[in-house]
Amino acid sequence: MLNKKKSIYVGLLVIIFLVAFSTALFAQDQEHYGGTMNAAFQMSVAHLDSDNSTDSMITTMMNHVYEGLFEFDENLKLQPHLAESYQVLKNGLEYKVKLRKNVMMHNGQTMNADDVIASFQRWLKINNAGQLVEPYFDKVEKIDNYNLVFKFKEPYAPFLNLLASPVSNQKFVVRSKEIVDKFGTDVITEHVGTGPYKFAEWIPDQKLVLTRFDDYTPSPLEASFFAGKRTAYYDKIVFNFIPDAQVRVSGVQTGQFQFAEEVPRDQYQLFEANPDIKNIIIYPDRMAMFITNNGIPPFNNKYARQAIVYALDFEELGYAMIGDSKFWRLESALHEKGNPWHVENAGQGIYGVYDPEKAKELLKKANYDGTPLVILSGQDNEMERQGAIAIKDQLEKIGIKVDLQLFDRPTVVEKRSQKTGWNIHLSPFIKVVPDPQIHQGWTGTNKWISNWDSKESHQMDQIFAELLQEVNYQKRYQIMEKLETEMWDSVPYFNILDYSRLHIIRSEVKNFKAGWQPFFWNSYLE
């Protein structure tokens, strides 16, 4: 009897303790809510429709408003997000996807298969990644409100990776069918998604304001970068567009901003010494890509392209382009170490072998006639500008005449789209690429800006075709190795080095995770 009484007392005590503990935890979590995240970003955007642009800044901001069927986690592993589960059927010809139920959208309705289908068809039509998929795609069929199947005419191995791609605007996000029907392929100006924040106000060139979506339905998975549970602690997020780096820095120093994107790396030590500020280095983050115009002499000859690799002192370029070696590392492979597609011995024997004499020999072999090489580069991006000046210096040291042309971004984009008038261009590429197929958009016959059309480019097309058909990882990896070998033999373009950007954040911001694209769910103000 006494034992029974004792057990009841103990049981009651445990219950009281548990209730008190969970209440305390809840109260603590409630304390995290509130405040405004004022973030300073360097570049403004023309609009907020990611499918209609190649600007990664749109995705960065609208990741808070829209979500994908799939999202990448911290380990670059694909996770279902608005999807609950999926199956790959018929050897990669069909993808059956089950959607999460009762996911609220910003218009008060729940997300269903009709929203996904409408958004997907728009993505297929106007998004750059969608257009890559489109030739292989057959149709999307609705099974019921929460089940659908994507059918292909031919296997398209990178499909799911592309749907969740963190590269520029490639990611597929779910929008309200109502809005998609209203705008069609035009730029969307009304934003109804499923994200933890909803669109509130946009003043072009000044700011974008998002407010918390109180009815947000989080993923049941554990939070990990873009995947899993998202909690909107801030009442409001304001993305401010501040082009001057020093103004962004001062804003964080004075507390006007809680976060600043891309600040001068040379001030790292100063931020380190300031208790109010935390440095955020995202690594690996970017690659500094050296692009040649392969449609005209001298770079329509692969020996001339190889010569350039031998002519450059990559380490010296690292210091000139990026500065402190903490922020860059030499890397020949298209995918970073740790990425499942990383090829260890890419570029062996040519990458990082500084040999000006061999460069001269190869230029002779390519019948280079000494016509000055035009370097076309942007003024506004530090890496591009500094890199172009440093490359000019290095090429001149071995007797190559160089005409350096620095312009604003729109002029560079216009000029580099021409078949002639330029020979060399530098461009920052996003390093974290989930699938080798992403490179298809850049490399191959007449892809992107390289104007490449030769027997080597046709060979590269063949490699990409093999990659598309193969769904087995091991076999795809072997094709990837072949791709790297071919890349470093024909050198249509090459990675000079990987580098990191430096962001800063106020110390009172807690639980901020440094993703490839900054995001503010799950972090809070203390």
Partner 1 sequence: MLKKYRRYKHPYIITSIIILSLLLFLSLAAPLLTNYNPVRNDARNRLKAPSAVHFLGTDQFGRDVFTRILYGLRASLEVGLAVVFLTVLTGGIVGVLAGFYPGLDKFIMRILDALMAFPGIIIAISLAAIWGAGKLNIILALSFAYFPKMARIVRSSVVAIKDLDYVESARAAGARDSRIIAAYILRNSASPIMVQATFNFALAILDEAALSFLGVGIMPPAPSLGAMITEARNYMVVAPWLIIAPGIMIILSVLSLNLLGDGLRDLLDPHLKNSFKK
The contact set with partner 1 (CB under 8 A) reads 245-246, 264, 266-267, 269-270, 315-320, 323, 379, 382, 385-386, 389-390, 392-394, 397, 404, 406, 408
Q: Which DSSP letter does residue 52 get?
A: G
CA distance 81 to 156: 21
Rounded to a whole number of angstroms, the minimum distance from the CB of residue 266 to partner 1 is: 5
Q: How far is residue 329's CA from residue 232's CA, in Å, rounded to a whole number?
A: 35
Strand partners, 72: 78
Q: Which residues contact 395 (CB under 8 A, 6 or more apart)?
A: 308, 311, 312, 373, 402
CB atoms within 10 A of CB 254: 9
Cβ-in-10-Å burial (0-12, 13-18, 19+) of 293 comes to buried
Least distance CB 267 / partner 1 (angstroms):
6
- 436, containing H or E segment: none
The CB-of-398 to partner 1 minimum distance in angstroms stands at 13
Q: How far is the CB of 251 from partner 1 (least distance, A)?
A: 15
CA dist 466 → 462, 480, 491, 518 (Å):
6, 10, 20, 35
| Token representation of residue 356 | 């000006």
Task: Please say which residue, 228 or 318, places its beta carbon nearer to partner 1.
Answer: 318
245's enclosing H/E stretch is helix 245-254
Minimum Å distance from CB 43 to partner 1? 16
In one-letter notation, the amino acid at residue 257 is F
Least CB distance to partner 1 at residue 385 (A): 8
* Least distance between partner 1 and beta carbon 139 (Å): 51
Q: Between 264 and 441, whose beta carbon lies closer to partner 1?
A: 264
Q: Which is nearer to partner 1, 309 or 321 (CB)?
A: 321
The nearer residue to partner 1, 303 or 354, going by C-beta atoms, is 354
For partner 1, the closer CB: 321 or 505: 321
Least distance (Å) from partner 1 to the CB of residue 216? 39
What residues contact residue 222 under an 8 Å CB cut-off, 6+ apart?
228, 229
End-to-end CA distance of the chain: 51
Please identify, using beta-carbon distances, which residue of 118 and 404 lies nearer to partner 1: 404
Q: Which is nearer to partner 1, 58 or 317 (CB)?
A: 317
Residue 305 to residue 300: CA distance in whole angstroms: 8
User: Which pair of structure tokens corresponds to residue 71?
Assistant: 């999202």
264 vs 340, which CB is nearer to partner 1? 264
Q: CA-CA distance, 159 to 162, in Å (whole number)?
A: 5
Nearest distance from residue 281's CB to partner 1, in Å? 17
Query: In a 3-state reduction of DSSP, which class is residue 336?
Result: coil
Q: Give the nearer residue to partner 1 in terms of CB position, either 49 or 382.
A: 382
Q: Are 238 and 38 in contact (CB under 8 A)?
A: yes
Tokens of 434: 């989930």
Which residue reads 């029974």 in tokens?
A: 4
